[in-house]
Amino acid sequence: MLKYFLNLLRLDEIPMLHEQKIVLNPIGFVKTVAVGDEVKDKSLISQIVVHDELTDGLSGISSYSHLFVLFYLNQITDDKRRTLRVHPRGRMDLPLIGVFAVRTMLRPNPIGLTVVELVSAEGNVLTVKGLDAFDGTPVLDVKPYDYWDIVENVKVPSWWLKLKEEKQKKL
């Protein structure tokens, strides 16, 4: 049966992978009083306000201490989405590398992924710690962070270790 339908589709009617458009509806948005670089503060408390009609989907979430938050970096312009190589943190002393090898917001699909601490879950509002997203940022999804994703002894590039060392010296 599948073969029959595939035969009906002409090859030139099948969109190439890179031409596919995906439409997603945000599940909610970020609420924070922080502006600009203040969102980088790991101790920042923000809210994720989930759309009312999705509140049932949050049932059971308060049993977790941490969540993955996927969000759409909606203030990134189309021009910035064409960037393919960057110096991490915009620092010219660090190597020029591909955007898929760094957590820059400049990327073809400006999606942010952050692990946050879940402070509380009340109704449709998740209060979280450490979310580096501006006020009004659309949230695409939240998922529980569990042992499935914990990895030990990860390998990272030397520029990353250099940044970490610098940060520790400042503390």
Query: What helix, strand, coil percent values describe the chain, rounded to 5?
Result: 30, 25, 40
Check residue 46 for interaction with ligand SAM (CB under 6 A): no
- Pick from 86, 104, 116, 145 the residue near ligand SAM by CB under 6 A: 104
Check residue 49 for interaction with ligand SAM (CB under 6 A): no
Check residue 101 for interaction with ligand SAM (CB under 6 A): no
Q: How far apart are CA 35 and CA 120, in angstroms?
A: 22
Phi, psi of 125 (to 5 degrees): -115, 125
Check residue 132 for interaction with ligand SAM (CB under 6 A): yes
Instruction: Please give the residue whose beta carbon sits closest to ligand SAM in the complex.
Output: 75
Q: How far apart are CA 34 and CA 143, in angstroms?
A: 24
The answer to whether residues 128 and 42 touch, using CB atoms and an 8 Å cutoff, is: no
Check residue 137 for interaction with ligand SAM (CB under 6 A): yes
Contacting residues for 159 by C-beta, under 8 A, at least 6 apart: 88, 94, 95, 97
Question: Nearest distance from residue 78's CB to ligand SAM, in Å?
Answer: 13
- Pick from 133, 139, 142, 145 the residue near ligand SAM by CB under 6 A: 133
What is the residue whose two structure tokens read 């400006």?
110
Question: Nearest distance from residue 40's CB to ligand SAM, in Å?
Answer: 5
156: number of Cβ within 10 Å: 9
Check residue 42 for interaction with ligand SAM (CB under 6 A): no
Chain residues in the site for ligand SAM (CB under 6 A): 39-40, 73-76, 103-105, 112-114, 132-134, 137
